[in-house]
């Protein structure tokens, strides 16, 4: 019987954190290749956005939605992930995260930012590394009261 070494969960956690941070941080340099490298490039990719127009099913739709961020009228200013938690499965083949996100941007010179948006997601380990397969962005209901 072959002896296999248990995965180093701290190394995996650091890699997942890098993927999550890159998934939002790519916009600072408009590095589409970096953005695309963070997600599962299949029809399994799915995420809810705070507004229904941004909800995405499948990699092809993700690519289409990314074009908006490449417009010269869009400028990413900074982003911050607060209270980032990352869970890793014992076999290090699945991971999940949650945090609060400040995503500071401008559209046509006017602020177009998200503050304290709740961001959750699920990643799977694919050939080539960790890939996000599901995300959910939402604002707490208290914000609207």
Cα separation, 110 vs 30, in Å, equals: 19
9-144 placed in CATH 3.10.450.50: yes
User: 81: closest CA among 119, 132, 29?
Assistant: 119
Q: Tell me: the pLDDT tens digits for 4-59?
A: 777 888 999 999 999 999 999 999 999 999 999 999 999 999 999 887 777 899 99
Say what the pTM is.
0.90
**Domain locations in the chain?**
9-144
Q: For residue 87, give the DSSP letter.
A: E
Helix H or strand E encompassing 116: strand 114-126
Between 9 and 95, the higher pLDDT residue? 95
Band (3; pLDDT cuts 50, 70, 90): low
Tokens of 9: 């969960």
pLDDT averaged over every residue in the chain: 92
Q: Which of 69-73, 98-102, 133-137, 141-145 has the lowest mean pLDDT?
A: 141-145
Q: Tell me: the pLDDT tens digits for 96-107?
A: 999 999 999 999
pLDDT at 121 over 90: yes
Cα separation, 94 vs 9, in Å, equals: 11
């Amino acid at each position: 019987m072959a002896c296999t070494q248990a995965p180093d969960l701290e190394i995996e956690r650091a890699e997942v954190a890098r993927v999550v941070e890159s998934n939002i941080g790519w916009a600072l340099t408009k590095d589409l290749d970096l953005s695309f490298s963070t997600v599962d490039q299949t029809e399994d990719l799915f995420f809810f956005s705070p507004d229904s127009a941004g909800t995405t099913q499948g990699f092809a739709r993700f690519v289409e939605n990314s074009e908006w961020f490449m417009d010269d009228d869009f400028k990413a200013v900074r982003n911050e992930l607060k209270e980032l938690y990352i869970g890793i499965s014992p076999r290090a083949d699945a991971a999940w995260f949650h945090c609060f996100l400040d995503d500071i941007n401008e559209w046509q010179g006017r602020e177009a930012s998200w503050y304290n948006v709740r961001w959750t997601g699920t990643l799977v380990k694919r050939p080539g590394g960790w890939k996000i397969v599901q995300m959910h962005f939402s604002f707490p209901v208290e914000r609207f009261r």
